[in-house]
Amino acid sequence: MAIKIGDTIPSGKFGIMTEAGPGVISTDELFSGKRVAIFSVPGAFTPTCSAKHVPGFVANAAALKAKGIDEIGCFSVNDVFVMHAWGLDQGAGDTVKMLADGNGEFARAIGMELDATGFGMGHRSKRFSMVVNDGVIEKLFVEAPGAFEVSSAEHMLANL
């Protein structure tokens, strides 16, 4: 069953790259006591994700923070090395935390798994964005298949 506004984020973890190498951040560490804008993409280095989705959140980070967002995260069903390389490629730096959902466990746990086997991409995450306030979903914007409209940073800003 897919998550909805008012739901609590389930316990889980993401892979992150640290100065010492691959590490882990729990959903509790990521969301507790903070208002977090998080967005999900079907795949790192894919056209829409690289040309529009991540750049939009990087460019609008200050405006999001001015509206009360403490942290911004991007997750995808990719490994930590791919997410780290993609973050470097996108200039995400400390602005957008690149989160690896390597086995798609988080995407499944929140009901946002995407079956992209028909495109040779396996099981991924749907494209969406949400605002999580102290672990509770405050805003949720889920895209229709193949669309990029409601999950953008610009749409999120207009709805904060």
Out of 3.40.30.10, 3.40.190.80, 3.20.20.80, 3.30.565.40, select the CATH number for domain 13-158: 3.40.30.10
Annotated catalytic residue 49: yes
Q: 53, exposed or middle or buried, with CB in 10 Å at 0-12, 13-18, 19+?
A: buried
CB 70, CB 96: distance < 8 Å: no
Residue whose pair of structure tokens reads 């999001």 in the numeric block: 64
15 forms bridges with which residues in the sheet? 24, 100
CA distance 62 to 78: 27
pLDDT in tens, 34-85: 999 999 999 899 888 888 999 999 999 999 999 999 999 999 999 999 999 9
CA distance 44 to 81: 11
CA distance 97 to 111: 22
pTM of the model: 0.94
Indicate the domain borders of the chain: 13-158
Q: Say which of 36, 44, 49, 64 is annotated catalytic.
A: 49
For the chain, what percent of residues have pLDDT higher than 90?
85
CA 135 to chain centre: 14
